Amino acid sequence: MDFEPADSGFAFEVTEGLAVEYEPAEDLPRFFAAAAAGIEEQLSLPEHGVVIATRVVLRQARAHTFGSHELAFKIAGYLAAREALRCTPLRL
């Protein structure tokens, strides 16, 4: 995932043509939405009533028949955002 500053709000995009070998493929949009939810949750600053303005682009993903589910992707998104915050100083 790439994290970039945004002018406002939170935006999550999946790279066009992203190929992930997983069956059923219909589950992938739910998995990606769960990752976005985890990221947005980590970027929320409830004490300020805002979400850090960020554009996130999912460029690569893996999914496995056993172990891949929405919660796993949500946690992955949460951890990715946490790492991005750790690497980038936050200014309010």
Domain residue limits at 54? 2-86
Tally of structural domains, the chain:
1
The answer to whether position 20 is within a domain reads yes
The answer to whether position 91 is within a domain reads no
The answer to whether position 41 is within a domain reads yes
What percent of the chain shows pLDDT beyond 70? 96
On whether the CB atoms of residues 78 and 38 are closer than 8 A, the answer is yes
* 63-86 pLDDT tens trace: 998 889 999 999 999 999 999 988
Give the CATH number of the domain where residue 31 resides.
3.30.230.10
The answer to whether position 92 is within a domain reads no
Please name the residue that has the structure tokens 């992938």. 28
Q: Could you tell me the pTM of the whole model?
A: 0.88
